A and B are shown apart, each in its own frame.
Chain A
């Protein structure tokens, strides 16, 4: 069984983002970039399935500019066998990425796609579900435990009221939540080895996919600022403020 793991190059989760003065977007110049944290969890899960003998190959995928090669090398340093980049300068939205992935799944005959549940840049949380829809596959989003046996997946999912367990036949799409696993770190020898692993570069046209954005961003603005209030000296002062000033208790 081949597992496909899409990874996205995003701003590092520790970086405080700044909105550009002209309102056209977020300033990404000279900002530390990294693999989307949920995708690291996806890579880890795929590797564990391969290490357990349940998968033959883990293929990493990314779409975007050539800079995404770096993210794919990271995935291969973690243990992915090879990588595919769909290179384009067009701003990619989730529907377009899902269409690219659907084309890759057909080409690669992948039986399982594990994605992050959302990317921490656009916070859209759509690609996995859209891919499942386009392929007509079952989906298990927000996964906190994945078990594969006899061509079926049993997945625990984090839902608003607690945990839900679903069972589905493969092929299927799984999206990862935070507590699915603890991703490993890449070792130096593996980082060196990853440089020699195959990385194929395609274009959207190679796959016959129209990636034209459907949403137009008119403006990006800072949220209304929230200012630090005051320090209270003790519990008595806090309670008095909450009662008399804020009037919330």
Chain B
């Protein structure tokens, strides 16, 4: 029962999300193969080979995988699944890359996709959040091949120390359907939001982009934290879209989540409610965020946040 895990990578290196998906694959049970599809991606392939529990790394190295576009990559995955290996499961982390590409694979294989699983009950039965995480559905697949995206915060990262074989596989067709014009990636020296141990997150209460950066960055620096935001803060242009935590943004589950000036809409709570410890700072004592916060501090964030930064110094 071999399982194919789609690597999340930037060619040079592997993203942490991959190791989380490998853990989900291990829960299902079976030989784990990781596919690295890219161009000049041996760095990512070598890193995948070191993940504990991986039996084989398949590398499809071709120019038409450089941009990691869904159409070409899905065609490659389908080709591998329909080959001789007999894959019973295809897994990808539920990142924007996985969420974009994998449903295409499922449709081409004429199978359902099981999105965003948080637990494996059996090789054909999985738990996934619905309604912004306000309910958990246990679903059983009747399809021959299970196509699954994995919520990375629900599975620990697989360890290191593996020595998997790295094998080149033939590239699939270049469908030439889409062209990457460019990427504007947010440069940051801070930890990646989805993987950070501490997240400092700001909302509408900060009132401006200037306040967001002036108040939150020093606090995040003290804590070695990633910066997050509510939808309201992103919509208002305080920070770029990739900072959004919530049902439709990033799902985070850090050891410590500090929500500052965030009221706590259902959609925001969906993205952070699995954090180990939640701190809320808000001037509105009735804000819903306090219903999930372990430690609530009611007051003026413009005074309290600098105080907190100072106290942590």
Q: Which B-chain residue is minimally distant from A19 (CB atoms)? A: B135
Contact with A along B176-203 (1 / 0, CB 8 A): 0111111111100000001000100000
Q: Kindly list chain A residues whose C-beta atoms are within 8 Å of the C-beta of B276.
A: 246, 248
Contact B100 A129 (CB under 8 A): yes
Question: For the complex, is B12 an interface residue (Cβ under 8 Å from A)?
Answer: no
Q: Are B139 and A162 in contact (CB under 8 A)?
A: no
Would you call A129 and B137 a contact (CB within 8 A)?
no
Residue of A nearest to B224 (CB): A249
Q: Does B273 contact A (CB under 8 A)?
A: yes
Tell whether A63 is near chain B: CB-to-CB under 8 Å: no
CB neighbours (8 Å) of A167 from chain B are: 178-179, 181
A168 on the B face (CB < 8 A): yes
Contact A163 to B111, CB < 8 A, known contacts A217-B138, A219-B137, A238-B308: no
Residue interface mask A197-235, B partner, CB < 8 A = 1: 000000000000000001111111111001011111011
Number of chain B interface residues as a range = 35 or more
Which residue, A38, A138, A139, A161, has most C-beta atoms of chain B within 10 A? A161
The reply to whether the CB of A133 lies closer than 8 angstroms to some CB of chain B is yes
Select which of B115, B138, B256, B266 is within 8 A of A125 by beta carbon. Answer: B115
| Docked CA distance A122–B113 (Å) | 12
Q: Secondary structure at chain A's binding surface: helix, strand, loop or mixed?
A: mixed
Do A249 and B223 have beta carbons less than 8 Å apart? yes
A124 to B110, CA, bound (A): 16
A182 → B minimal CB distance (Å): 9
Q: Is the CB of B255 within 8 A of A159?
A: no
Q: Given B99, B133, B223, B235, which contacts A179 in the complex, CB threshold below 8 Å?
A: B235
Pick out which of these stretches binds chain A: B25-33, B41-49, B124-132.
B124-132
A121 and B297 within 8 A (CB): no
Of residues 169 through 183 on chain A, the ones whose CB sits less than 8 Å from some CB of chain B are 169, 177-179
**Which chain A residue shows the least CB distance to B110?**
A95
In contact, B135 and A220 (Cβ under 8 angstroms)? yes
Give residues of chain A (229-245) contacting chain B, Cβ–Cβ below 8 Å: 229-232, 234-236, 238-239, 241-242
Is B295's CB within 8 Å of the partner chain A?
yes
Contact with A216, one of B110, B140, B291 (Cβ below 8 angstroms): B140
Is B167 part of the contact surface with A, judged by Cβ < 8 Å?
A: no
Is there contact, CB below 8 Å, between A235 and B307?
Answer: yes
Residue from A157, A161, A168, A231 within 8 A of B177 (CB atoms): A168
B277 in the interface (beta carbon within 8 A):
yes
Say whether B296 contacts A232, CB under 8 Å: yes
Q: Which of A163, A215, A239 contacts B141 (CB under 8 A)? A: A215
Contact check, A11 vs B297: say whether CB atoms are below 8 A apart.
Answer: no
Q: What total count of A-B pairs have CB within 8 Å?
A: 246
Task: Tell which of A43-51, A81-89, A140-148 binds the partner.
Answer: A140-148
Q: Which residues of B contact A129 (CB under 8 A)?
A: 70, 100-104, 107
Q: Which of A125, A214, A217 contacts B143 (CB 8 A)?
A: A214
Which residues of A16-56 are within 8 A (CB) of B?
16-17, 19, 26, 38
Q: Are B138 and A218 in contact (CB under 8 A)?
A: yes
Contact A132 B183 (CB under 8 A): no
Q: Which residues of A contact B7 (CB under 8 A)?
A: none
Assess whether A230 is in contact with B115, with CB atoms less than 8 Å apart: no
Interface of B, helix, strand, loop or mixed by DSSP: mixed
Question: Which of B57-65, B81-89, B207-215, B242-250 lies on the face that meets chain A?
Answer: B242-250
- Determine if B279 and A238 form an interchain contact, defined as CB atoms under 8 angstroms apart: yes
List CB contacts (< 8 Å) of B69-103 with chain A.
69-71, 74, 95-97, 99-103
Instruction: Kindly provide the distance from the CB of B283 to the nearest chain A CB, expressed in whole angstroms.
Output: 13
The answer for the CA separation of A234 and B102 in the assembled complex, in Å, is 47
Which residues from chain A contact B277 at a C-beta distance below 8 Å?
242, 246, 248
* Contact in complex: A164, B180 (CB < 8 Å): yes
Given A163-B241, A217-B137, A94:B292 Cβ within 8 A: no
Q: Which residue of A lies closest to B250 (CB)?
A: A160
Closest 6 interchain pairs by CB? A229-B294, A129-B103, A130-B107, A214-B112, A138-B177, A133-B107
Residues of chain B having any CB pair with chain A under 8 Å: 69-71, 74, 95-97, 99-108, 110-116, 125, 129-143, 177-186, 194, 198, 223, 231, 234-235, 240-242, 247-248, 250, 255-256, 266-267, 273, 276-279, 290-298, 304, 307-308, 311-312
The chain A residues found within 8 Å of chain B, CB to CB, are 11, 13-14, 16-17, 19, 26, 38, 93-95, 98, 117-118, 120-134, 137-142, 144, 154, 157-169, 177-179, 214-223, 226, 228-232, 234-236, 238-239, 241-242, 246, 248-249
Jot down 6 A-B pairs with beta carbons below 8 A, ordered by A: A123-B116, A163-B240, A165-B182, A215-B114, A235-B297, A238-B279
- Give 8 new A-B contacts, CB below 8 A, not counting A26-B130, A138-B71, A168-B177: A17-B135, A123-B132, A133-B108, A141-B99, A178-B235, A228-B290, A242-B279, A248-B256
